[in-house]
Structure formats: structure tokens, C-alpha cells
Structure 1
Amino acid sequence: MGTNRYDDTRAWYAISTHSGYEEKVAENIRQRINAVDMADKIFEALVPKEKQIQIRNGKRKVVEAKIFQGYVLVEMKLTDETWYIIRNIPDVTGFIGAGTKPTPVSEAEIKKIKQRMGVEEPTHQIDFSEGEVVSIVDGPFKGFEGSISEVDVQKGTLRVMVSMFGRDTPVELDALQVKKL
């Protein structure tokens, strides 16, 4: 193929996909690498995920959630040929970059993403925000209402300001102990 208009050093690139098809796109890239003998130019396809604790039906469940919905990271040497191969995989909507030139993801960013993926301690998926008014459904403050003053995603707890004895009192509660009004 004539001259290459891209920098063909090995780098990570972010490609956008239709949301929900990230795994399928990554798998298609892996298959395409072998099918068209591109292992020396396209090295890895990665869907960044992290463990999260989600609360469903009052129960905690550890799930793997995508860090970036609608994106797949690809480590490759960018050439006209590799650009064409990736761009024509079903459900790929494009490369991330300025204009028509894909921008590599920095090594520092890749390192941060991989560290985040490697964290064994799952984060809690809490569907509450500061200022929200909630009803306490469990524990010694059951039946009280209050507004959330702080959300701790690491611990899965909320600090709720409960009005009692004529003043607001901060109470630390598990996210399972409250419900939205």
C-alpha cells in the first residue's frame, strides 16, 4: 500500500462503538487479528471494566461494569491498513481524535485505566446524591426522614441529616437502610 500518512509506532487508541456492543467489537477485533494475520500490527483489544457493588432488590451484588460505555481501547500500529480494518468492524463508529487523525491515548492514561481495572476492592454503586431527601427503612432511625449530606461510595454509606430533638443530627447509614421519597 503506498505511503503511510499515520505515525506507525505502537500505541493505544480509543475507538467508539455502539453502546452495549463493546465486548462484541473487542471479540471481532481479536478474530480479525488472526484472520488477516495482523498480530504484528494490532496487539490487543480491551474493554475497561471495574468491579462495582450494585444494590438490587435489597441485596448487594458485585458486578463488572464498563468504565467507558461505548468505547474499546486498541493497542496497535496505526497504518492505512490497520485503520481500515478496525474502522470496518461492525458496530465501530470511529476512532477518537481530531478530524480524521486518531489521537493516541497517553501511556499515563492507560496506566491509570489498568490500575482501576486491577483494583480488587469493588466500589459501591449508590443511586443517591447529596441534598436528596430519603426515608429511613431500617435500623434505630426507621420511620425518620432526612436529607443526604454526604455519600461514601467506598464504604457504601450515606450521612443523612435527621431532624430530631428540634435540630438536624447527622446519622451514618448503610445505603440499604434508606429509600428515595
Structure 2
Amino acid sequence: MFRWYVVNTYSGHENKVKHNLEHRVVSLNQRRAVRQVVVPTESVTEMKDNQRVVTEKRTMPGYVLVNMDLNEDSWALVKGTPGVTGFVGASNEPVPLTQAEVDRLLHRETAERPRSRAQFSIGESVKVVSGPLSDFSGEISEINEDGARLKVLVSIFGRETPVEVGFDQVKKI
């Protein structure tokens, strides 16, 4: 019975392990036992030089998902792959994922919008480049990554006033 299992790898070697595992499946004629190898990723929107850039980021660094029919041969095939340190489970005994976990890890439950990642830090000076307060400068007091918003303390009439702006409405000074 085909189930999803989590394989522990060296961090940063997930794609190499995926390639090695797929190559070993073909060369050791185990296509009937291993269906799919996946490195879980998500699309993340970052602001670089005031431009939106969408990149793929690993959601589980150090892990690879394998859809396979677990038996002695397939277990040995995965365990013997270079870069694999073992299966995730109690005492290195592979424990299959539930369907809900698989759906969440592979982003099947909903069409998620790409998540923005802040390129800013609290206390950093920024200049508002769009909106009603454009050309004002201020200091970041809060970062809301989920809403892709910043709270900036802008000096208006000699007083610092908190203003909420989007990541794309400011640039670093």
C-alpha cells in the first residue's frame, strides 16, 4: 500500500537527495515500490530593489517526502541513498503521514497566495514612496509579515506619528 513517509536528510542537500533517490529507484528497478519523491516548497514574494520577486523556499529544511510501498527492499533503497540519515518515526521506524498532513505539506488544501517575507527590521529608517505620506521618512516600529505591513513612526508637525504602510510603499534609506 502506497503511503507518504518523511525522510531526514542533511540540511541543504534535499534536492540532491531527491535526485539521487530517483536515480537509485530507476537503476535498482524499484519503480513499482517508489512512486514519488518531493521536496516540500512554497512560493515566497520578497521585495528586492523595490521589485517583487517570487522565489521557492523549502518549507521543511532537512526533510524529503517519499510516496512508497514500504517493504524491506524499498526501505533499504531509501536508507542507502547518499545524504539520507533515516526515516522520521519512533526509533527510526518509518511512520506514514496522515492524508491531512500530506495535503498541508504539499499545499493541496487551498490555493494559497504567495507569502511575503520582510526585508526590513525594527528600528530601520525608511522613506515612504507612495500613498498620501509619500516623501516622508521614518523609523520602523512594528513588522506584520502576515499582512505585509509595517508600522512606521513618521514625524508630522514635529511629533512622531505611527503610520501603517505596505512593504511595497516604502524603501530603505
Q: Partner residue of 2:63?
A: 71
CA RMSD of aligned residues (A): 2.6
SS at match of 2:37: strand
**Deviation sequence 1:116-170 (CA, Å, 0-9, x none):** 69736321111446xx22322233363322411x51435x322335464576643
Query: Are residues 117 and 72 of structure 1, via their aligned partners in 2, closer, same or farther at CA, if it must alter by over 3 Å?
Result: farther
Q: Partner residue of 1:23?
A: 15
**Residue 126 of structure 2 is aligned with which of 136, 140, 144?**
136
**Residue 59 of structure 1 is aligned with which of 48, 51, 71?**
51
Q: Partner residue of 1:4?
A: none
What residue ranges of structure 1 are gaps of 5+ in the alignment?
A: 1-8
How far the C-alpha of 1:86 sits from its partner, in A, is 0.5
Question: What is the identity, as a one-letter code, of the residue corresponding to 2:127?
Answer: V
How far the C-alpha of 1:65 sits from its partner, in A, is 1.2
| Aligned counterparts of 1:115 and 1:96: Cα–Cα separation in 2 | 20
Residues 47 and 71, structure 1, Cα contact 8 Å, conserved in 2: yes
What residue ranges of structure 2 are gaps of 5+ in the alignment?
A: none
**Deviation sequence 1:17-62 (CA, Å, 0-9, x none):** 1122111211222222221121221111001111111223443211
SS at match of 1:115: coil
Question: What is the identity, as a one-letter code, of the residue corresponding to 1:160?
Answer: V
Question: What is the identity, as a one-letter code, of the residue corresponding to 2:141?
Answer: S
Identity of aligned residues (%): 33
Number of residue-to-residue matches in the alignment? 168
Q: TM-score, normalised by structure 2?
A: 0.81
| Aligned counterparts of 1:117 and 1:67: Cα–Cα separation in 2 | 16
| Aligned counterparts of 1:110 and 1:98: Cα–Cα separation in 2 | 19
